[in-house]
């Protein structure tokens, strides 16, 4: 595999792509980039966004996974962005990763969402004490050397989102030889057609019948692991979020991880904001499309671009205000998290993570709605990307924390309720 990662720098090269591929080029909003590292991540994210955009509509229409795009990401070394420098990666911070993801998602929301989950999962391997050292080193090496893909597999048909609690139907039973046998089904398994490793949340059942929550790292090429192509959704159609079925999958004891602390996505971490950067990037792409359309569309009855109409100017202004608000809240929150000096300080600003996710998701929905109103019926054409942007941002409503949970968290913080 061609490597472009050279810690502590990141090259700006990537596989060639024609410069006329339609894709949003996100302006350099102050104060970013502030460092050479941020500049390199942004530049590479923009270039890879054009590669993603070249295939995005085709994969969306066919409901297929973009293996070709991920091959380019792998070749560019982008998939190992959050691997620590000590393990051969770039060692990106959450902020740096978000800057790259926002650009990448402007080309394809599905690709951006999958890479966001890869970044967070890899960062978790690097930093969590749940991972045995030998397994940690193996996976991080696999990501750097082969561009291996990793994601958590948690949601289930009966359970829904595990962030709301409840027991897992997927079960790991200890075998007589000390191995574990896993049976069950996982839904919403983003990246499933290309995953190398899956971190599976499940119920652990001991010989004596006692049960507890647990998690295992499962090689996805293990006998008994099967992908059922159930994914056929309104949004993020190319994300490969199919069902994963485990039928008597044998896993060695050394692949058992320490039980997770609390509910999934409940811990305050900068990595929790990565998916919000994806939806911000898609919203920016919708804005850029609407602006270009308004500048170029000249109805015969008007004799001038529709950009000269005050109603269009006002809608674009509303879009830019919403983008400014969303971007300010999102990056302001990650900056506050990075500046916090103690775990207690970071915990105190935890409610801002809910506020940032809530703001970005709902602003992105409003932005794509306004963009469609600027473009009109032409924006509904499947041959144009705006209707894909309009659909894709709505997937954010299903990413934790959901709106009701976010508002409850914020309200309790304000009212001093535990």
Query: Would the pLDDT of 371 be above 60?
Result: yes
Give residue-wise pLDDT tens across range 131-174: 999 999 999 999 999 999 999 999 999 886 666 667 899 999 99
Q: What per-residue confidence (pLDDT) applies to 401?
A: 94
Q: Looking at the structure, do residues 249 and 357 belong to the same domain, yes or no?
A: no
User: Which of 197, 231, 257 represents a domain boundary (last residue)?
Assistant: 257
Query: Residue 262 domain-assigned?
Result: no
Q: What per-residue confidence (pLDDT) applies to 1?
A: 38
Separation of alpha carbons 251 and 256, rounded Å: 8
What range does the domain containing 53 cover? 5-148
Query: Residue 263 domain-assigned?
Result: no
Residue 328's domain is classified under what CATH number? Answer: 1.20.140.10
Q: What per-residue confidence (pLDDT) applies to 2?
A: 36
Q: What per-residue confidence (pLDDT) applies to 3?
A: 44
Q: Are 400 and 265 in contact (CB under 8 A)?
A: yes
Q: Looking at the structure, do residues 231 and 295 belong to the same domain, yes or no?
A: no
Q: Looking at the structure, do residues 316 and 220 belong to the same domain, yes or no?
A: no
Query: Residue 264 domain-assigned?
Result: no
Residue 54's domain is classified under what CATH number? Answer: 1.10.540.10
CA-based end-to-end distance of the chain:
50
Query: Would the pLDDT of 328 be above 50?
Result: yes
User: Of all residues in the chain, what percent carry a pLDDT higher than 70?
Assistant: 91
Q: Looking at the structure, do residues 118 and 180 belong to the same domain, yes or no?
A: no
Confidence of residue 26 (pLDDT cuts 50, 70, 90): low
Q: Looking at the structure, do residues 142 and 174 belong to the same domain, yes or no?
A: no
State the total domains in the chain: 3
Q: What per-residue confidence (pLDDT) applies to 259?
A: 85
Confidence of residue 30 (pLDDT cuts 50, 70, 90): confident
Q: Looking at the structure, do residues 18 and 115 belong to the same domain, yes or no?
A: yes
- For 87-116, what is the mean pLDDT? 98
Look at strands 180-189 and 171-174 and give their pairing.
antiparallel
Q: What per-residue confidence (pLDDT) applies to 23?
A: 55
Q: What per-residue confidence (pLDDT) applies to 319?
A: 98
Separation of alpha carbons 27 and 13, rounded Å: 19
């Amino acid at each position: 595999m061609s490597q472009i990662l050279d810690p502590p720098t990141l090259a700006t090269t990537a596989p060639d792509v024609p410069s006329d591929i339609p894709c949003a080029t996100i302006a350099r909003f102050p104060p970013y980039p502030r460092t050479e590292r941020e500049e390199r991540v942004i530049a590479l994210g923009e270039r890879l966004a054009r590669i993603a955009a070249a295939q995005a509509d085709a994969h969306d229409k066919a409901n297929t996974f973009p293996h070709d795009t991920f091959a380019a990401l792998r070749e560019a070394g982008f998939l190992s962005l959050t691997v620590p420098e000590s393990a051969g990666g770039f060692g990106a911070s959450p902020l740096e990763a978000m800057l790259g993801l926002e650009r990448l998602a402007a080309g394809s929301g599905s690709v951006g969402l999958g890479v966001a989950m890869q970044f967070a999962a890899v960062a978790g391997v690097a930093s969590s004490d749940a991972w045995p050292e030998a397994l940690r080193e193996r996976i991080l090496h696999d990501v750097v050397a082969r561009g291996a893909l990793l994601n958590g597999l948690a949601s289930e048909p009966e359970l829904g989102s595990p962030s709301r609690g409840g027991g897992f139907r997927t079960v790991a039973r200890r075998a007589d030889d000390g191995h574990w046998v896993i049976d069950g089904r996982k839904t919403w398994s983003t990246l499933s057609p290309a995953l190398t490793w899956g971190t599976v949340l499940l119920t652990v059942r001991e010989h004596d019948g006692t049960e507890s929550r647990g998690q295992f790292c499962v090689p996805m090429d293990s006998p008994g692991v099967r992908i059922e192509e159930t994914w056929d959704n309104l949004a993020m159609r190319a994300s490969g979020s199919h069902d994963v079925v485990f039928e008597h999958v044998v896993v060695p004891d050394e692949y058992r991880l320490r039980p997770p602390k609390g509910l999934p996505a409940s811990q305050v971490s900068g990595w929790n904001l990565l998916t919000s950067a994806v939806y911000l990037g898609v919203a920016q792409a919708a804005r850029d499309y609407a602006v270009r359309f308004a500048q170029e569309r000249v109805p015969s009855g008007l004799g001038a671009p529709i950009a000269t109409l005050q109603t269009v100017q006002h809608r674009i202004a509303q879009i830019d205000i919403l983008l400014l608000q969303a971007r300010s809240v999102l990056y302001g929150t990650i900056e506050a998290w990075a500046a916090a000096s103690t775990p207690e300080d970071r915990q105190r600003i935890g409610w801002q993570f809910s506020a940032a996710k809530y703001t970005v998701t709902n602003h992105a929905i409003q932005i794509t709605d306004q963009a469609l109103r600027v473009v009109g019926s032409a924006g509904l054409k499947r041959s144009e990307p705006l209707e894909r942007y309009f659909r894709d941002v709505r997937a954010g409503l299903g990413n934790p924390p959901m709106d009701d949970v976010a508002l409850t968290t914020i309200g309790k913080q304000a009212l001093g309720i535990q």
